[in-house]
Structure 1
Amino acid sequence: MRNQAVIVLLALLGTASAQAADQDRELARQLALQQKNLLPLLSNQEFQAPLPNLLQKANPRLKRQAADANQAAISRQGLEGEVKQLMQLRLANQEQADALKQGVEPLIAYVPSGDEQSWSAIEAFDTAGNPVYLDVNQPPARPVLVVEADPVKAKNAGLKVMRKALAAAELQAAPMAQSSTTPLKTSILKKIRLSDDQEPWLLGAAEVYAVVAGVNPSRDEPVVDIVDMPYLDYDNTDYSPNQILVYWDRYRWGAVDVVMMEQDDNVNYKELSALLIEALKLGFTAGGVPEALPFLDLGGRIVKALPDSWMTNNDDYLDTFYTLEQDQSYHQYPGAAGNAVITLEPKEIQPTRP
């Protein structure tokens, strides 16, 4: 029954995504027709701005189209109540800002529906509203403005949705309060590199986060921490964030699984939260927590719960690190999918002295 429900829901989400893309397509065409009025305003905001900032003097029809596209994006991603404004206009390649300032007319594109691997071309519009088809993988020489749901805002709101859902299900890791006498045991992410962030040029920088899953230290239930990775923008680039990835006091047995995900325009965060909760709780309800085992395959449960399309096309799932252990160092350690490589080091944070 669960699989049937997921199939139906994904079909509905696919239909909604296609309808939203149709809205975004017409919005992009109308913006292309009005670009001479929009470019001076966009230039003043470094060629990235929320649509309402650009459309204050636009005609009522264009404002209505932008509002409809905005509401569709919020609904598609399950972000009702967390964010009011998502849609923006952004220069796809900031290195082409000088060309815009020199008067080169840009094309205006929108984000196609479906996963990126299925895209055959990127449709954009010129100043006359005529369609121009661009290569998915190779950015064009001509500047392109893209109308889209702001991925940073969407991810930030989406992580709030996930944390609230996990807290309501009593699976959210408790905030850490450092003891005045006991060192805080952590693992620090010293270095990370992605071989492929799955992002076409149209979408710009990736928006990555990690799901850290372990067993609750005080009761026989899973516990999950959502860790944002806002610095992890591009693939084939080394990042040294010095970020705390794991607070070990939150987990029993000194072991966690880490699943790395990438924010995608087609992700519904409410549905994703429900899948995570169901997958994790189902395993504990069915078999309990065998104390003889050092750890349960929580990362595997999460990965299996994700829709097949996310796995085959790597749209939203990036990689998994299974059974990372407390007090262990991991140097240039590859994930199970071979997409991410990390260097992770244990660190004790000493209590502050009064």
Structure 2
Amino acid sequence: MRPRHPRRRVTLTATAATLLALSAAQTLAAAPTAGAAPAAPARSAHSPSATASAVTGAQDRAARAIARSLGDNAWRTRLRTAALKSDDVAVTPLAARANPGLASGLAAADHAIAAAKGLDGKVGPLLRLRLGDRSMRAALSAGSAPWVAAATSDDATHTVTAYDSQGRAHALDSRKAPGRPVYVVDIDSSKALTAGLDVLRKELVKDGVRSATPGAVNTTAAKRTAAASGGFWTTKVDAVELSDDEEPWVKGDAEIYTLVTGFGQDGAVRVDPVEMPYLDNDGTVYRPNQILVNWSNYKYNLADAVMMEEDGSTNYHDLAVAIADALLTITDQGAYIPLVDAVLNAIPTSWWTDDPDYVDSWYTLAQNNNGTYYGARGNGWMTVEPYWVSQF
């Protein structure tokens, strides 16, 4: 189970003041005053609740269709074999080979989910199927008839609706795994996140916020700096751990990513998304040796990091619009201004019910940081060190 975190919005300005003793220059409000451009009116976007509803609705339709398809003995056996063999079954391609009628409905659901999340249609099938809990394996192997449920996207809901092969709905307790096997229809969050962050980068750049592709040094000034010095300094994550939180059994995997923010070589704000796909389990120390910050992209030796969790319903186009609208009002004052609060306050309140999830944040990471640093929210820690990347 991947790390999960409470879904509630927090006031980060107060958190930062309590947890970090920042200098006067560093505690400038993220909503700028002197020298800042006037705040532009927020651009229209899809309703976050509508996006979540579209994704959940598509998953629920897929769950009902799969449940009804289990009346076919050959298909039921094939699906059971796949579910016992793999923790995640790409159900649309599997159905395309064995149950064309079902595959057509699943393909429509895949398309609806991609559209709701603002993803390119080329992302491919996103639906996957898994057994709700490992405790269900014995009953499934013994031939017990499974029900099918859609992964819930609302942590406040304590019931899960599962369907049987007759299409009848059954209410299950989301806090306790049932004895009966239940297939859960979920989204391939790893594939969705990779495609989503690509959309996020492209939309940020289109809206005037610089953003590098993974590992890239993409500004002229940064290239000159790196070339002149024969390489560039980075901040490397040696170890990272996130804290434990209880989650419903029906919840599936989620993907962690970090938005690194700061001022680019040109003095304009920039956001560099960093995927952290190895963060599979809470309470586990991971040692990824992953580059988090490429300092050749930044004007100052300080940057912020906002760690987030993809949970299924994010519209990445709208997320980029919201972040760009907030950050483009902030101008370079000749001293570093933390951008964490601006990023978090840009996200509509309704998104904080579940998606996207705020995990933790690190204010004013410095180029020379070397050691263990706890997040402002207390949900995690990272051990980092300066790391020199030499050019060929």
Under a length normalisation based on structure 1, what TM-score does the superposition of the two structures give? 0.84
Residues 184-227 of structure 1: CA deviation (Å, up to 9, x unaligned)? 3111111111114685432333211110011011x121112111
* Whole-angstrom distance in 2 between the partners of 1:116 and 1:135: 14
Cα distance in 2 for partners of 1:314, 1:10 equals 9
- Of the three residues 165, 169, 176, the one matched with 2:203 is 165
How many Å apart are 1:134 and its aligned residue?
2.5
Partner of 1:325: 366
Structure 1 unmatched runs, 5+: none
Provide the residue aligned with 1:92 in structure 2: 132
Partner Cα distance (2:51, 2:360) in 1: 24
Is 1:203 the counterpart of 2:203 in the alignment? no
Which blocks of at least 5 consecutive residues in structure 2 are unaligned? 1-39, 218-222
* 2:339 paired with 1:298: yes
Deviation sequence 1:108-134 (CA, Å, 0-9, x none) = 21123xx42222211222344433332
Q: Deviations over 1:27-55 (max 9, x none)?
A: 24324444751432552572332223322
The aligned runs of 1:1-354 (5 Å cut-off) are 2=41, 5=44, 9-17=47-55, 19-34=57-72, 37-41=75-79, 43-44=81-82, 46-47=85-86, 48-56=88-96, 61-94=101-134, 96-97=136-137, 99-112=139-152, 115-168=153-206, 169-173=208-212, 175-176=216-217, 179=227, 182-196=230-244, 200-217=248-265, 219-283=266-330, 288-291=331-334, 293=335, 295-311=336-352, 316-331=357-372, 333-352=373-392
Query: C-alpha separation between the residues in 2 aligned to 1:56 and 1:277?
Result: 40
Match of 2:382, SS state, is strand
Q: C-alpha separation between the residues in 2 aligned to 1:334 and 1:134? A: 38
Question: How far is 1:170 from its partner?
Answer: 4.8
Q: Normalising by the residue count of structure 2, what TM-score does the alignment of the two structures yield?
A: 0.77
- Tell me the matched-pair count: 341
Do 1:28 and 1:109's aligned partners in 2 also have CA atoms closer than 8 Å? no
Q: For structure 1, which segment, 143-152 or 132-141, has the greater mean C-alpha deviation from structure 2 after superposition?
A: 132-141
8 Å contact 1:189–1:244 — kept in the other structure?
A: yes
Do the aligned residues in 2 keep the contact of 1:38 with 1:54 (CA within 8 Å)?
A: no
Q: Deviations over 1:210-265 (max 9, x none)?
A: 10011011x12111211100101122222111111111111111111111111121
Q: C-alpha separation between the residues in 2 aligned to 1:141 and 1:180? A: 64
Q: Deviations over 1:87-142 (max 9, x none)?
A: 22222335654553343433221123xx4222221122234443333222333344
Contact 1:24 1:111 in 2 (8 A): no
Amino acid at match of 1:68: A
